[in-house]
């Protein structure tokens, strides 16, 4: 179960090709074949079918383990290296599209910060693996509860904002114009699945109407307005959305910092935490 073997296994499974994985990883086909054979010999199980190349049940299971495992490994490397590396003065901040509110924007220093917009699910990984120095993620949670984040690495998590929710309805929707509504009213509504913008509402589990893979909030609003499905948003970003009165679920923003932030990152984190 050498990480190298796992890494090629993941690549082979993703590309559905030994030779493709070899190209991607800078190996020869032969080496990739040997890697997979080594894994399969070690576990005494077929992990992939050949021709077509597809994971067997055991292989699929290993994949579920291998991906977060390799992520954690990279995170560990990056984290320790970051501790020793010279502080570069410039701070990059990973943000999910809905995580940047006016108060936080106001708290940003005039210079020295790079913003990188990522899907919510990737922000934690970006911070953990050192691609970014800090992160701001948003998501849905019970009031004053921290978000449930994948624990790829020991990150410090600080709540920096809570907002009530609102639902974006198409023009002709019967609920349009109501002062507020409860989530239960929408129990069997059709939602737009936009994992790159709005974190998936774990509670609301119905078949999504449409999937949007971008990170653009305006495109998502346009889709909702056109009637492709409903969207659950923090109230502040959509003035014309109908407020949700349910007090059990709020939109929450968290500040993520690695265990050993660089001095400039720590300074920015303090400013953002104070502003939230």
- Residue 88 as a binder of a second copy (CB under 8 A): the answer is no
* E strand or H helix that includes residue 128: helix 120-128
- Residue 218 as a binder of a second copy (CB under 8 A): the answer is no
Q: Which of 14, 50, 90, 148 binds a second copy (CB under 8 A)?
A: 148
Residues 90-129, one symbol each (x = binds a second copy by CB under 8 A, - = not), give: ----------------------------------------
Q: Which of 16, 83, 105, 115 binds a second copy (CB under 8 A)?
A: 83
- Residue 77 as a binder of a second copy (CB under 8 A): the answer is yes
Q: What is the DSSP letter of 200?
A: P
Are residues 105 and 132 in contact, defined by beta-carbon separation less than 8 angstroms? no
**Cβ distance to a second copy smaller for residue 14 or 178:** 14
Rounded CA-CA distance 109/114 in Å is 11
The length of the chain in residues reads: 276
Binding to DNA in span 7-46, by CB under 7 A: 17-19, 26-31, 33-38
**Cβ distance to DNA smaller for residue 51 or 205:** 51
Tokens 């998590």 locate to 157
**Cβ distance to a second copy smaller for residue 34 or 45:** 45
Q: Which does 61 bind (CB under 5 to 8 A by kind): DNA, a second copy, none?
A: a second copy
26 phi, psi to nearest 5 deg: 80, 25
Q: Judged by CB under 7 A, how many residues of this single chain contact DNA?
A: 20
Q: Which of 49, 88, 112, 151 binds a second copy (CB under 8 A)?
A: 151
- Residue 56 as a binder of DNA (CB under 7 A): the answer is no
Cα angle 244, 136, 165 (rounded to 5 degrees) comes to: 0
- Residue 142 as a binder of a second copy (CB under 8 A): the answer is yes
Q: Which of 58, 121, 209, 270 binds a second copy (CB under 8 A)?
A: 58
Q: Residues 103-109: contacts with CB within 8 Å, 24+ apart?
A: 103/161, 103/275, 103/276, 104/136, 104/160, 104/161, 104/253, 104/272, 104/275, 104/276, 106/275, 107/271, 107/272, 107/274, 107/275, 108/268, 108/271, 108/272, 109/268, 109/271
Residue from 67, 84, 87, 83 nearest 7 by CA = 67
**Cβ distance to a second copy smaller for residue 78 or 197:** 78
Rounded CA-CA distance 273/164 in Å is 19
Chain residues that interact with a second copy, rule: CB under 8 A: 1-3, 43-45, 57-58, 61-62, 64-66, 68-69, 72-73, 75-77, 79-81, 83-84, 142, 145, 148, 150-151, 153-154, 259-260
């Amino acid at each position: 179960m050498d990480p190298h073997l796992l890494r090629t296994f993941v690549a082979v499974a993703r590309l559905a090709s030994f030779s493709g994985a070899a190209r991607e990883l800078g190996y020869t086909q032969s080496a990739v074949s040997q890697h997979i054979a080594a894994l399969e010999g070690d576990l005494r199980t077929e992990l992939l079918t050949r021709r077509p190349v597809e994971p067997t049940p055991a292989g699929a299971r290993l994949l579920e383990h291998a991906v977060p495992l390799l992520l954690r490994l990279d995170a560990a490397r990056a984290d320790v290296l970051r501790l020793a590396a010279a502080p570069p003065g410039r701070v990059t901040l990973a943000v999910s599209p809905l995580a940047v509110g006016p108060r936080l924007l106001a708290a940003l220093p005039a210079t020295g910060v790079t913003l990188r917009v990522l899907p919510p699910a990737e922000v934690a990984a970006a911070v953990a693996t050192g691609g970014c120095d800090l992160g701001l993620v948003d998501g849905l949670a019970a009031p004053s509860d921290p978000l449930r984040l994948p624990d790829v690495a020991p990150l410090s998590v600080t709540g920096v904002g809570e907002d009530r929710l609102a639902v974006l309805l198409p023009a002709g929707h019967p609920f349009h114009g109501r002062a507020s509504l409860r989530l239960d009213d929408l129990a069997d509504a059709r939602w737009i699945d936009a994992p790159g913008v709005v974190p998936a509402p774990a509670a609301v589990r119905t078949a999504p109407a449409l999937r949007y893979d971008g990170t653009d909030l305006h495109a998502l609003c346009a889709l909702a307005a056109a009637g492709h499905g409903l969207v659950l948003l923090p109230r502040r970003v959509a003035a014309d959305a109908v407020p949700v009165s349910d007090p059990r679920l709020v939109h929450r923003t968290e500040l993520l910092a690695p265990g050993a932030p660089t001095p400039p990152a720590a300074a920015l984190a303090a400013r953002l935490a104070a502003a939230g």
